[in-house]
Chains A and B, each alone.
Chain A
Amino acid sequence: MNLTSPESLIFWTSLIFIVFFLLMRKLAWKPILGAVKSREDSINNALLSAENAKKDMQNLKADNEKLLAEARAERDIMIKEAREIKEKMISDAKSEAQMQGEKMIEQAKASIASEKNAAIADLKNQVGALSIEIAEKVLKGELANKEAQTKLVETMLGDAKLN
């Protein structure tokens, strides 16, 4: 192996390496390592915040579901109440109507009865008057026929034996 004068390569290697090292440290490695580090940090932060956002989303979703369930339960209660109110109203109306009907029937019955009584009384009066009139006319008729009357009185007197 042809090893040239050792001082040549040792000198140049030391010089070039040290200058190269200093240059690279300042102009390459520091910016590169810094950029890589800051990007790693930003990626980690982004991942962390994404994770947090996911957690928040999950919480929100859970909240929403809870709210929804509550709303649903409330709706069910309201429907139930409404149904009850409806039924109550219907039954109330029914009983009211019944009562009203009965009252009306009662009143009708009472008025019918009083009408009937009045009619009967009226009929009685009319029948009385009519019978009086008839009797009057019969009597007038009977009395108008003098011969017959006298005959009758004679017959009756004839029959009337002075016993």
Chain B
Amino acid sequence: MKIFGKVLNIVLLATLLLVSTKSIAGQGIEEAEKEFNATDLINSHIGDSHDFHIADWNGHPISVSLPVILWSENGLTIFGSSEFHHDDNGIHVVEKNGEKFVKYKEVVYYADKFENLSEDDKSAFNFSARPLNFSITKNVFSMLLSVIVLFLLFYSLARSYKKNNMAPKGLAGFLEPLVIFVRDDIAIPNIGEKKYAKFMPYLLTIFFFIWINNMFGLIPFFPFSSNLTGNIYFTFVLSFITFLITSFNANKDYWGHIFAPPVPKALYPIMIPVEIIGMFTKPFALMIRLFANITAGHIIILSLISLIYIFKTTWISPVSGAFVLFMSVLELLVAALQAYVFTLLSALFIGQAVAEHDHH
């Protein structure tokens, strides 16, 4: 069975045109398993964290302390994430506000309750064992940064029109075509000439918000590099907002199609649940698409870099460097593309909800 598995492995790798490196890879993984774990590395890089790790120096991590904000049984507790002393294994106990906290896999638990938890119960969704956590995490930090950058950019663009009524120049020459692109290629074709204006601020906001965060995520150093748009909670909030906007602006035709679809009444028991599910699958697809695309890009780049440590040879670095460069350029495209797709689909869903249908 083991031999069969190995043969299968070889065949699979051969089909992936990795025959020449196969033997090295096999050895590398086994030897490096104890000291280097690519899965952990990638997981920690694409995930969120309470402090912003910058680099390791002589084995000591250097990181920026971010505020940990907890709502516990004793009320609000705020302290710096450096209080955990880079511990993420539930060992270092922080005592604040009369309570003891530990951090395990980036989840803060009550220290006393954590000790009694089985491995399966150690989860971010185990609300009985942990306080409510409203920490400014790495992702929140980078979201704040992106919001500030975007605001400065577009506020100065808005002000530039007061001075310059002629052809756009400077910053306006770069940003204005993007704004017009959102208007003429996303909003108007999908929502329609009459109703698009109301939704323009939302579409512009999500387009630039997602795009800049996608790009910030690709910059591999502080204060960027966080995988915000590849975080499912983040994409959940955005798609949920799209869902709310779609639902609250939907007209009679939209609801009519859901609760009284144009089919024989006998089919209603099937059609109405399908239509109701359809209401939710659209924003759900938005959520998953953005999350999966961005996270996958980060995983690929991190995997390529991990190859150097897996093979334990610097000779592989030009290869993985070239691939990382290629992937980074591709991700730059994906960053814009996913922002475009999210905005486009939001506009499409809104357009469907506000469209004046001809009754058929």
| A-to-B contact residues, CB < 8 Å | 1-14, 16-17, 20-21, 23-25, 27-33, 35-36, 39, 42
Q: Is B338 an interface residue (CB 8 A)?
A: no
Q: List 10 A-B contacts (CB under 8 A).
A: A2-B47, A4-B135, A7-B133, A9-B139, A9-B234, A13-B237, A27-B155, A28-B151, A33-B179, A36-B180
B48 pairs with A9, CB closer than 8 A: yes
Whole-angstrom distance between the alpha carbons of A4 and B135 in the complex?
A: 10
Whole-angstrom distance between the alpha carbons of A9 and B241 in the complex?
A: 15
> Could you say which of B47, B130, B134 contacts A1, with CB atoms under 8 Å apart?
B47
Q: Which residues of B contact A39 (CB under 8 A)?
A: 165
Q: Is B93 an interface residue (CB 8 A)?
A: no
The distance from the CB of A111 to the nearest CB of chain B, in whole angstroms, is 101
Which of B140, B165, B232 is packed against the most chain A CB atoms within 10 Å? Answer: B140
Whole-angstrom distance between the alpha carbons of A32 and B300 in the complex?
A: 38
Q: Is B209 an interface residue (CB 8 A)?
A: yes
Indicate whether A4 sits within 8 Å of B133 (C-beta atoms), given known contacts A13-B233, A24-B151, A24-B201: yes
* Chain A, residue nearest B175 (CB): A32
Main secondary structure of the interface of B (DSSP, over half): helix
The number of A-B residue pairs with CB atoms under 8 Å apart is 133
B44 pairs with A2, CB closer than 8 A: yes
Q: Which residues of B contact A3 (CB under 8 A)?
A: 47-48, 106, 124, 231-233
Q: Which residues of A contact B295 (CB under 8 A)?
A: 1
Whole-angstrom distance between the alpha carbons of A25 and B202 in the complex?
A: 8
Which of B144, B209, B295 is packed against the most chain A CB atoms within 10 Å? Answer: B209
Q: Is B188 an interface residue (CB 8 A)?
A: no
* Chain B, residue nearest A20 (CB): B147
Main secondary structure of the interface of A (DSSP, over half): helix
Q: Is B46 an interface residue (CB 8 A)?
A: yes
Write the B287-317 contact mask toward A (1 if CB under 8 angstroms, else 0): 0000000010000000000000000000000
B238 pairs with A17, CB closer than 8 A: yes
Indicate whether A16 sits within 8 Å of B183 (C-beta atoms), given known contacts A6-B124, A9-B233: no
Q: Is B132 an interface residue (CB 8 A)?
A: yes
Q: Which residues of B contact A6 (CB under 8 A)?
A: 124-125, 233
Q: Which residues of B contact A35 (CB under 8 A)?
A: 158, 161, 165
Q: Which residues of A contact B241 (CB under 8 A)?
A: 14, 17
The distance from the CB of A97 to the nearest CB of chain B, in whole angstroms, is 81
Indicate whether A8 sits within 8 Å of B154 (C-beta atoms), given known contacts A13-B234, A24-B204: no
> Could you say which of B106, B132, B147 contacts A7, with CB atoms under 8 Å apart?
B132
Q: Which residues of A contact B236 (CB under 8 A)?
A: 10
> Could you say which of A4, A16, A20, A28 contacts B107, with CB atoms under 8 Å apart?
A4
B161 pairs with A8, CB closer than 8 A: no
The distance from the CB of B357 to the nearest CB of chain A, in whole angstroms, is 28
Q: Is B286 an interface residue (CB 8 A)?
A: no
Indicate whether A32 sits within 8 Å of B158 (C-beta atoms), given known contacts A4-B124, A24-B151: yes
